[in-house]
């Protein structure tokens, strides 16, 4: 059973934090801390394909913009674990072209990270227990919806999934595992209706 309490909100990335996390290795580090919990730079190194000293440098850079912090406990700068400061992060569209470019760069980094993670899963899938292999899914949908309906659907799916986010669920069963779920929703660029494109440009589609 999940908690009946409302899940805490995602922390909104400011412009400085947005620029910092758009570096691929930093994005990978932040996501690993969210998925695995507090980890040292050495523990992160093998996962993100960097040296421990390089991970330590990038973690300090993330700390400077308020995305990670030292986890409670003893340890020096080399052995102390780091943790994410929030159970999730969100990007809000900023004003101006620079903010939109930064958001697009981050979304591209996120897409590449997600695809690489899925490919690593596929490479190791046969080593996993059968019940986890059978529970996994990779589904695609082409929906015919309005922008308002799409937003409603995404909010509903988020409401279903978010209580199960690892940092939010302290009561997870012992036999649970950290499962990665990626949900993207965007207008299909290969079948955009000409009338809709004209409407977006302010032209009369008739």
CA distances to 11, 21, 30, 33, 73 from 70, rounded to whole Å, are: 18, 17, 13, 11, 9
Dump pLDDT digits (tens) for 71-120: 987 666 568 899 999 999 998 766 778 888 888 999 999 999 999 999 99
Nearest-CA neighbor of 88 among 5, 179, 167? 167
Q: pLDDT over 70 for what percent of the chain?
A: 88
Dump pLDDT digits (tens) for 3-46: 456 788 889 998 899 999 999 999 999 999 999 999 999 999 99
The pTM score is 0.85
């Amino acid at each position: 059973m999940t908690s009946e309490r409302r899940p805490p909100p995602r922390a909104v990335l400011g412009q400085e934090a947005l620029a910092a996390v758009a570096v691929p290795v930093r994005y990978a580090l932040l996501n690993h801390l969210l998925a695995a919990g507090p980890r040292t730079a050495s523990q992160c190194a093998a996962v993100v394909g960097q040296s421990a000293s390089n991970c330590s440098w990038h973690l300090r850079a993330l700390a400077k913009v308020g995305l990670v912090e030292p986890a409670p406990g003893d340890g020096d700068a080399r052995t102390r674990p780091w943790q994410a400061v929030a159970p999730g992060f969100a990007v809000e569209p900023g004003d101006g072209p620079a903010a939109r470019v930064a958001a697009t760069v981050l979304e591209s980094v996120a897409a590449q990270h997600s695809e690489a993670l899925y490919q690593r899963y596929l490479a190791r899938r046969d080593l996993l227990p059968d019940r986890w292999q059978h529970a996994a899914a990779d589904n695609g949908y082409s929906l015919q919806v309005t922008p308002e309906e799409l937003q409603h659907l995404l909010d509903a799916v988020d409401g279903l999934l978010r209580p199960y986010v690892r940092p939010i669920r302290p009561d997870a069963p012992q036999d649970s595992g950290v499962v990665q779920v990626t949900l993207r929703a965007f207008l299909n660029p290969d079948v955009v209706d000409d009338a809709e494109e004209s409407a977006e440009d302010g032209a009369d589609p008739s």
